[in-house]
Structures are given as C-alpha cells and as structure tokens.
Amino acid sequence: AQSVTQLDSQVPVFEEAPVELRCNYSSSVSVYLFWYVQYPNQGLQLLLKYLSGSTLVKGINGFEAEFNKSQTSFHLRKPSVHISDTAEYFCAVSPLERDDKIIFGKGTRLHILP
C-alpha cells in the first residue's frame, strides 16, 4: 500500500520569499507523483506531475518539484511567492500498475504574508 506524508499542515511565508512544501511517500512499487492545488472556494487542479525521466519537474505558476527516489520525497518549491499563491497544496501518489487510484496527503495550507 502507498501512503503520503505532508509534514507541514500550514506554512507562512512572506511575499516574494522562496517556499518549499515537503512531501514524503512510502510505496513498495514504483509510483507516479503529483501536486495539486486548491485555491479558496475552488476545486483541485493539477500543478505538476512526475511520471518518468528528469527528476526536476516544472509546473504551472512558477512551481517546480524534485523527485528524490532514495529519500522517497517529492518536495514542491517556488523561488518567489505571490499573494495569489495562497491555497492548499496536496501531494499525491499513484502506483504505476494501477494509476487510477491516487492517494492524497493531508495537504499544506500556504499563507502568504504581506
């Protein structure tokens, strides 16, 4: 079985500062990895995904994530955040042989401070 741990439930960051949202996973098989974002009062949307190839994945809105197989991590980063990045961010994994069932983490709420 797979599991996802998002270590921080809330992360406050000053505007224009860098941010890293941490995600660790456990799985006995290879997985696909995802980050989804949920803006206030909206549904979830895909930010980026790792399927194979380069371990550094770039997504929308200037976000990127790096897959580290040895550390079973998929941390999300942005070099300079904006007030519009205020949202909840969910890390998710899906086993390769059964990618229809995605397991989500509990989410990290990103607070942008003026």
Report the distance separating Cα 57 and Cα 66, nearest Å: 6
Report the distance separating Cα 95 and Cα 98, nearest Å: 5
Residue 25: C-alpha distances to residues 13, 31, 52, 68 (Å): 24, 9, 16, 10
By DSSP bridging, strand 10-14 and strand 44-50 are unpaired
Nearer to another protein, 46 or 56 (CB): 46
**Segment interacting with another protein (CB under 8 A) among 11-19, 42-50, 59-67, 77-85:** 42-50
Minimum distance from CB of 20 to another protein (Å)? 19
Give the residue, chosen from 35, 63, 89, 90, that forms a contact with another protein under the rule CB under 8 A: 90
Hey, is 62 helix, strand or coil?
A: helix
> Taking a C-beta distance cutoff of 8 angstroms, is the pair 105, 35 a contact?
no
Minimum distance from CB of 31 to another protein (Å)? 11
**Segment interacting with another protein (CB under 8 A) among 13-21, 22-30, 45-53, 77-85:** 45-53
49 is a contact residue toward another protein (CB under 8 A):
yes
94 is a contact residue toward another protein (CB under 8 A):
yes
Tell me, by CB under 8 A, how many residues bind another protein.
27
Hey, is 92 helix, strand or coil?
A: strand
Give residues in contact with another protein (CB under 8 A): 4, 6, 9, 32, 36, 41-46, 49, 51, 90, 92, 94, 97-107
